[in-house]
Amino acid sequence: MRLEMNLYGARAIYMYEMARTGRTLLQSIVSPVISTSLYFVVFGAAIGSRISQIEGVSYGAFIVPGLIMLMLLTQSVTNASFGIYFPRFVGTIYEILSAPVSAFEIVLGYVGAAATKSIVLGLIILATSELFVPVRIAHPAWMLLFLVLTALSFSLLGFILGLWADGFEKLQIVPLLIITPLTFLGGTFYSTSVLPQPWRTITLFNPLVYLISGFRWSFFNIADVHVGVSLAMTLLFLAICLAIVWWFFKTGYRLKN
């Protein structure tokens, strides 16, 4: 079997998507940085000063991983979904479908670009948070691993959303009504250990708890669930998203009549 790849094709999509970010710098980078800074001002400085330390970490620093995750998840989903939905909406998808690019190369281009943007954004927010609170990273390699895996998984989810959506409303539903509430309820601003039962057990059905917990562990060595479980759940989520994308391309769902 010949292993061939159209790397020029994947690169063309990637560069095209990255150029789109360059054109919408205000919306893509500046806006999330400003909203994160506001979170730090409100929760970190104003409210945080009245909250005692959580498991030995100041509240301002404690929320940093959660805030990065919040932005990482919403931006990954938004960027990737818009990237593939817009060509479907305006009709330029014909060119992607008629080009000699495989499903893998298409995903590599779109999801790779969306994940890159999210990772860069995550690192910018991390640097911004340093302006407000002192942040230490206990396990930098794990931090980067969680950052990359989460950005990839949720960019894949966004890609799925962009393929599934048949209108701008559906495109907004998942980030607004699912991702954001689950992130807030997944321990962005608190440790799930402070929740009373049965809410603490119920919270474990929220997949984002594992991502936020693992990411926070890489910073402060404290976690709501074991880091191995967090990693396994992240990989499981990635695998599920890959399987769904594979099925979309295999059947031509929403792509080919």
Partner 1 sequence: MTHAIAISHLSKTYASGFQALKDVSLDIRHGEIFALLGPNGAGKTTLINVVCGIAMPSAGTVTVDGHDIVKDYRAARSRIGLVPQELTTDAFETPPATMRLSRGLFGKPANPAVIEKVLKELSLWDKRDSRIMTLSGGMKRRVLIAKALAHEPQILFLDEPSAGVDVELRKDMWQLVRALRASGVTIILTTHYIEEAEEMADRVGVINKGELIVVEEKAELMRKLGRKQLILELRERLHALPAALAGHGLTLAADGMQLVYTYDTKGERTGITTLLDEVRNAGIRFRDLQTRESSLEDIFVGLVRQR
Q: Give residues in contact with partner 1 (CB under 8 A).
A: 4, 6, 8-9, 11-13, 15-16, 19-20, 23, 90-92, 94-102, 252, 256-257
| Dist CA 175 CA 32 (whole Å) | 14
| Residue 162 CB, nearest approach to partner 1 (Å) | 17
| Dist CA 36 CA 34 (whole Å) | 5
Residue with tokens 């061939």: 4
57: Cβ–Cβ under 8 A, 6 or more apart, which residues? Answer: 220, 222
Tokens standing for 140?
């930098």
Give Dmax (Cα) for the chain: 65
| Residue 177 CB, nearest approach to partner 1 (Å) | 29
Please say which residue, 97 or 239, places its beta carbon nearer to partner 1: 97
By CB atoms closer than 10 A (0-12, 13-18, 19+), residue 247 is: exposed
Name the phi and psi angles at 205, rounded to 5.
-80, -5
> Quick check: bond before 198 cis, omega within 30?
yes
| Residue 88 CB, nearest approach to partner 1 (Å) | 11
Please say which residue, 84 or 241, places its beta carbon nearer to partner 1: 84
Please say which residue, 48 or 87, places its beta carbon nearer to partner 1: 87
Residue pair 218/146 in contact (Cβ under 8 Å)? The answer is yes
| Residue 202 CB, nearest approach to partner 1 (Å) | 40
| Residue 84 CB, nearest approach to partner 1 (Å) | 14
Please say which residue, 92 or 201, places its beta carbon nearer to partner 1: 92
| Residue 22 CB, nearest approach to partner 1 (Å) | 11
56: Cβ–Cβ under 8 A, 6 or more apart, which residues? Answer: 220, 222
Please say which residue, 105 or 224, places its beta carbon nearer to partner 1: 105
| Dist CA 111 CA 76 (whole Å) | 9
| Dist CA 189 CA 59 (whole Å) | 8
Please say which residue, 139 or 254, places its beta carbon nearer to partner 1: 254
**Alpha helix segments (H runs only) across the chain:** 7-23, 25, 31-39, 59-90, 93-98, 103-129, 140-164, 168-173, 180-185, 199-203, 207-220, 227-251
Please say which residue, 199 or 253, places its beta carbon nearer to partner 1: 253
| Residue 243 CB, nearest approach to partner 1 (Å) | 21
